[in-house]
Structure 1
Amino acid sequence: MATATHTTHQGHTHQHGAGCGHVAVPHGDHVDYVHDGCLHRPHEDHVDECETTAHTEHQNHTHQHQEGCGHVAVPHGDHVDYLHDGHRHAPHDGHWDDH
């Protein structure tokens, strides 16, 4: 799995949780939420903005994610990730990264 930098989202007053209206993304031992094109992770008394700092290629992944492919699309910065088998797939240089 890729490592992530957790930077506090300043001035974030929305409380993420079940039914908050944002896409929930299971991520290891916690849940991230898609909010304004980034991933938010509730953490102690604040919310972190989660950005990957490395990537791991999903080996032998032949499925081509795209609109209508059957997987949940997660807007993320300048691209779209897809939820697949409990993790996010992100397009990268002709392959899919496994987040």
Structure 2
Amino acid sequence: MTALHLEHASHKHAHGPDCGHTRVRNGDHVEYAHDGHFHREHEGHWDECEQDTHVAHEDHDHRHGDGCGHESVLHGDHVDYLHDGHRHAAHDGHWDDH
């Protein structure tokens, strides 16, 4: 899974443990949910966290939704569910791993 390097040039807010935004550990970094986007710190600036490939989460039997027990976060035009260190989103009858 590769991520696009999309710098969020006008991002003045400094994310951190007490900033009030949802933190998500994603591989080797932490992302912050902010205004429908996910941001990560990178070389002195903040990046938008978007994948450039489609990654289906294989063998995901759990159905996310209201009351499923996982935190939901608005991400653009859909909702991601935070599950086991991943962000899952419904897509064409399966769950994508963001």
Q: Under a length normalisation based on structure 1, what TM-score does the superposition of the two structures give? A: 0.92
1:91 corresponds to which residue?
Answer: 90
The 1-side partners of 2:7 and 2:57 are apart by 29
Q: Which residue of 1 aligns with 2:12?
A: 13
Determine what percentage of the aligned residue pairs are the same residue.
63
Q: 2:29 maps to which residue? A: 30
Give the deviation of 1:55 after TM superposition: 2.0
Q: For residue 70 of structure 1, what is the aligned residue in structure 2?
A: 69
Amino acid across the alignment from 2:19:
C
Pairwise CA RMSD of aligned residues?
A: 1.0
Q: Which runs of 5+ in 2 are unaligned?
A: none
**Structure 1 consecutive aligned stretches of length 4 or more whose deviation exceeds 2 Å:** none
Q: d(CA) in 2 for partners of 1:55 and 1:23?
A: 24
**How many residues get paired?**
98
CA distance in 2, matches of 1:91, 1:83: 12
- Partner of 2:79 in structure 1? 80
Q: Cα distance, 1:86 vs. partner?
A: 1.3
TM-score (normalised: structure 2)? 0.93
Structure 1 gaps, min length 5? none
